[in-house]
Structure 1
Amino acid sequence: MDRGRVRSIALYIVILATVMVALLALLYTVSLFHIVPLKFSHVLYAIVIGVIIYAIVKVIVKYFERFFAAHKEYRHLKYVTFIISLIGYFIIALAVLASLGIDVSSVILGSAFISAVIGLAAQTVLSNVFGGLFVSVVRPFNVGDHVIINTWQYGALLPSYPPKYFSRDFMEASMYRGVIMDISMNYTTLLLESGDMVRIPNGVVVQAAITIRKGMVTVQARYEVPKTISFEEIAEKIKDQIAAEYDVKNLGIFIDESTMNTYIMLIRGDFPGEDADSIRSSILKKAMDIVEPMKTH
C-alpha cells in the first residue's frame, strides 16, 4: 500500500475519532445540564450511537473500495463491500432499537433462524462464494498460470475400448490441465490444453490438489525400430538433434518393449514450454528422419 493511501486512511480515522469525541461530548453536555427532556434523552442516545456506527461502517467500506480499485485481480470481490454495508446497517438497526429500550433478542433469534434456513438452502452457492473469497485472498495460483487441478468431486470418463499401444490414450481421474483465465465470485475459468473452456466451482477448487507448472513439461514419445538397426547408433543421433534444438533436461532414450522383429524406443525428457503435442511431434519427426533411411540399407 502506497503512502498516499495510508495518509488517506489515516485522515479518515482522525476525522472519525474527532466526530465520535464531539458526539460523545455533546451527549455528555446534554445529559449533565438536562438540555433535552429526560423522556427524549434515549432518542438522542440512539441517534448518536447510530451515527457513530454508520461512520465506522463507511470508513471500512471506503477502505475496501479503494483496495479493490487499486488491485485489478480483486475487482470481482466488490460484492464484499455490499455484504459489509448490509451487516453494518443491521448492526445500526439493532443498536438504535436497543437504545430506544426495545428488546432485540427476538429480532436476533429470528435473524439467526432465517440465516440458517437461507444458508442450508443456498449451501452450494455460498460455498462457491466463500471459496472465491478464499482463492482471491490466499492466491494459490494467479491468472495466466499453467496448472493441473485434480478434484475428487467429478468422476472420470473411461474409454469404451482398450487403449492402443502407440496411442496416448490415458485415464485421468478428474484432472484438468490448462491456463487460468479468470477467477470470479463463483467460478475459476480454465482454458484446457484441448482448447475447451471449463469453469470449475470455487467450492471445488479450494478442496483440489493444484499443481502449478513452471515453464517445463515432461514429454515422452515411442517409435518402433527394426532390430536390424543398432539402438546405440540411433539413440545418440536422436539425443544430439534434440539437444541442439531444445534446452532439455533429464533426456533419456530407452528400449521400452520388444517384439519378434522390432523394438520400441521410448524417448523422454523435460522440455521448456507448455505445448507437449508440438514437442512430441518434433521428436517423432527427428526419429523418423533418422530411422527410416536406415531401413533401406
Structure 2
Amino acid sequence: MPRHKNSTQSLNVNWKRTVIWMIALIILGVFLTILLSPNSGLLKTVPTGFKDIFRLIIVLVIGALVTTFFERHIFRLSVDRLGSQSATSIRYAARLMIYIIIALSALGAVGVGLTSVVFGGAFLTVIIGLAGQTMFSNLIAGIWIIVFHPFQVGEFITFITWQYPVLMPSFPHESLKPMYTGYVKDINLMYTLIETQEGYPQVIPNGILVQAAIENRSSTVMHTARIRFDVSYDVEAAVLIDRLRERLQPSLAHSWVVTPQVMVADLYPTSYSVLIKVQTDERDDDVRSAVLMEASKVLASLKVHSLS
C-alpha cells in the first residue's frame, strides 16, 4: 500500500511538472511570435538576406526544446499510464510526428512552400529515393517493428545477423551462431536499445534487426540447452555416458524434468567430444554450469577408479 501511494504521488508530481512545462512553452511561443513579427518585431531590423537564417535557427532551437520536453516528461508519463507495449508505439509515433513538424517548419522558415513540399511529386520522389539509404531504411524498419511487434520493450531476445559476425572457435567444434542477447529497453526512430546480459547498453540499427533472425526468449518457457566438452581417450566413452545419464537424472537438485540426452558428438586424434542436451526453462549459462559440475565429478571418480 505505501509503495502504491508513493508511485501515485510521484505521478502527480510529474503531471504538475508537465503542466508547468506546457504553459512555459505556450508563453515562449506567443513571445517569439510577437518578437519575430516581420513588421514590428525583431526581424524588422535584421537585413533581408539574414532573415531566413535567423528564422531557421529559432525553429531548430524551439524544436530541440520541444523534443527535450517530450523525452523527459510526456514519454515517461505514457509508460506509467499505458504500460511498455502501448507506450512504445505512442512514443515512436510522437517522435516521428515531432521530427516531421520540425523539418517542415524549418523548410517553411527558409521560404520553401509547405504545400509544394508535401504534395509535390518531387517530394515523393525524394522520399522514395532516400528510403534506400541507411538513415531512412532504419526509420522505415522502426515503423515495421512497431506495427508487427516481433518483440516488445522489456522482453528478452536473441538476434542472429550476418552484419555482426563472431570469431570461430580455435578447436574443431560446431560452428557458432553470431547471436547477441539482451533485454529490449527502448525502440526509437533509428535504433533499438538492448541491455546485454553483462549489463552494457547495446544500440542496434532498426534496419539490421528487421533483417535478423530473432529468438524471443520471453515468449517460450522450455527450450533445449546444449553443452559440449572434450574428454581424453583415457576415459572410456561408454562408461562415461552411462555414468552421466545416471548422474543427470531429474531430481530436486536439477531444474529439468526429462532425462538429458548424452551422446558422443565427434572423435579427434587424442580425445572425443561429448554432447549433452537438456530440456529446461532456466538460462543456458546456469544449466551449463550445473551440468559441467556434475560431469567434473563423474570424470574425477572415473580417473581415480582407473588409477586404483
Range into which the TM-score falls when normalised by the shorter chain: 0.5 to 0.7
Q: Structure 1: how far apart are the matches of 2:262 and 2:188?
A: 44
Match of 1:218 in 2: 225
Measured against aligned partners, the alpha-carbon deviations of 1:107-165 in whole angstroms (never above 9, x if no partner) come to 4699442564466467322222222222122211112222222334x152445xx6225
Q: CA RMSD in A?
A: 4.1
3-state secondary structure, aligned to 1:113: helix
Deviations, residues 249-290 of structure 1 (Å, cap 9, x unaligned)? 47201123456886543222222123x223212211111112
Give yes or no for contact 1:141–1:212 (8 Å, CA) kept in 2: yes
Residue number in structure 2 paired with 1:265? 274
Percent of matched pairs sharing the same residue: 23
Provide the C-alpha distance between the structure 2 equivalents of 1:194 and 1:112, rounded to a whole number of angstroms.
49
Return the alpha-carbon distance in structure 2 between the equivalents of residues 261 and 119 of structure 1.
60
- Pick closer, same or farther for the CA change 1:255–1:124 going to 2, 3 Å: closer
The match for 1:285 is 293
**Other-structure match for 1:178:** 182
Say whether 1:205 aligns with 2:213.
no
For 2:196 and 2:280, the matched residues in 1 are separated by 19
Offset at 1:248? 4.5
User: Are the equivalent residues in 1 in contact too, given 2:265–2:273 (CA < 8 A)?
Assistant: yes
Q: Give yes or no for the alignment of 1:143 onto 2:147.
A: no
Q: Classify the secondary structure of the residue corresponding to 1:296.
A: helix
Q: Helix, strand or coil: the match of 2:151?
A: coil
Q: Give the C-alpha shift of residue 81 in structure 1.
A: 3.9
Distance in 2, Cα, partners of 1:81 & 1:252: 54
Whole-angstrom CA distance in 2 between matches of 1:233 and 1:205: 43
Structure 1 unaligned residues grouped into runs of 5+: 1-64, 94-103
In the alignment, is residue 256 of structure 1 matched against residue 265 of structure 2?
yes
Task: State the structure with more CA Rg.
Answer: 1
Question: How far 1:183 sits from its partner (Å)?
Answer: 1.2
Q: State whether structure 2 residue 86 is matched by structure 1 residue 76.
A: no
- Structure 2: runs of 5 or more not aligned: 1-74
Partners of 2:118 and 2:252 in 1: CA distance: 71
Alignment of 1:163 with 2:170, yes or no, is yes
Which TM-score applies when normalising by structure 2?
Answer: 0.54
Matched, 1:132 2:142: yes
Distance 1:87 1:147, change over 3 A: same
Aligned residues: 212
Distance 1:236 1:272, change over 3 A: same
**Residues 169 and 88 of structure 1: is their aligned pair in 2 closer, same or farther, counting only changes over 3 Å?**
same
- Matched AA of 2:282: G
Q: Would the alpha carbon gap of residues 260 and 126 (structure 1) be closer, same or farther in structure 2, given more than 3 Å must change? A: closer
Which deviates more, 233-242 or 204-213? 233-242
Secondary structure of the residue aligned to 1:288 is helix
TM-score, normalised relative to structure 1? 0.56
Distance 1:191-1:263 versus aligned 2 partners, 3 A rule: same
